[in-house]
Amino acid sequence: FVPLMTDEHGVNVPTNEPSEDPDIIPAGYYGAASRTASNWTSADRKTHFSSWARRGIVSDRLAGAILQYAGRTLSFLTGQSAPQSGGTTPGDDVSPGVPGVEKPQDGGVAGTGHDEAVSSTRTVAEYDANSGNGVWTEQQWGAAGGKGTVTDDGGRKALRLEKQPGKLTSWKMFCTVAVEEAKNLLSKGGEIAVRFKIPDGSELVNGQFVFGLYWPVSQWASGAAANSMLASFFLQTDASNLNLMHHKGTSNAQLGTFGAFDHNWHTVVFRFAGNNSERVVPVIDGTEQTAFDLVMWTNDGFTADTLTLTDITGAKATYPVLLDTVTVKVNESRASS
């Protein structure tokens, strides 16, 4: 079974924005923006399945499923025959919640006498609420200043982070990451990703923080001051929307929006291109936003070479947040031998 309207976690996701599904009047086609209550199945226009605007979704999802479940093997990609029953397939297992190399299975190319290069990603920092019992300390994370509770959310575990009852002290959750891995993220490329949710019962407050993600690095790049920020992003609501912001030291810039405030699961990803580029592409719920440049600035409130999630302020209330996963991955490629 190949799901066409859910993400990798089984959560229903929008299939198209009205702007991606315009009317084509000469063809007699009317897109999401023109549908009415008489012919829609949901008032949420983003969930309207349009065969025109998403005519490639079936083939895309099928291709993704084939690559995922057929093994992502070099043999598959090069058209070699499958091994006979009883044979073995090389590959390394990675235990959930433990940093390690996520290697695709591979094999040699017949007649060449050597293995081809195979791309992969290596996880250098990770928290997974559904690994083990979800306790952060067992996954090499620390925490301070707030309250953390592993809870159930729709049949999956989630880590709820919030201020201590009756207190405004800000909370932090942090993981030490070797400076070399920060350099690898810049030189080889990779991504920082967080899957989160504002829990039910939290009311919209204009200007209130959800969480921030900060990563000062002791040796970042040529010309950068020690402990300059490799990551300094935060999520904040306005009068109606949840927005992704870039903290640039003395100023802030909006990188994109998740849309109207809600209590759904969301994913934010920061993609690093590699080649020591300081240009980063933010991805909000699977949709790429406009790329931006990192800014070299420092903040003594954070520990160098430590990835930190925090609710930022100890002066006022912030939203509680549920975390599913936090990951930092670096691109790798195994050179031909």
CA angle 164, 169, 175 (to 5 degrees): 90
CB-CB neighbours of 32 under 10 Å: 24
Indicate whether 9 pLDDT > 60.
no
* Average pLDDT over every residue of 265-279: 96
Q: What is the pLDDT of residue 13?
A: 61
| Tens-place pLDDT, residues 284-308 | 999 999 999 999 899 999 999 999 9
* Ordered domains of the chain (ranges, CATH): 18-69 (no CATH), 122-334 (2.60.120.200)
With H, G, I as helix, E, B as strand and everything else as coil, classify residue 136: helix
| Tens-place pLDDT, residues 38-61 | 666 566 666 665 555 555 666 666
CA dist 61 and 64 (Å) reads: 5
Q: What is the pLDDT of residue 296?
A: 87
CA dist 230 and 305 (Å) reads: 10
Q: What is the mean pLDDT of the chain?
A: 80
Max mean pLDDT range (2-6, 142-146, 332-336): 142-146
pLDDT level of residue 168 (50, 70, 90 thresholds) = very high
Nearest to 318 by CA among 214, 170, 194: 170
Positive or negative: CA dihedral 330, 105, 195, 325: negative
Q: Classify residue 52 by burial, with Cβ atoms within 10 Å: 0-12, 13-18, 19+.
A: middle
Pairing relationship of beta strands 306-310 and 101-102 according to DSSP bridges: unpaired
User: What's CA 6's distance to the chain center, in Å?
Assistant: 16
Which is more confident, 253 or 114?
Answer: 253
Indicate whether 115 pLDDT > 50.
no
Q: What tokens appear for 149 in the block? A: 């509770």
With H, G, I as helix, E, B as strand and everything else as coil, classify residue 307: strand
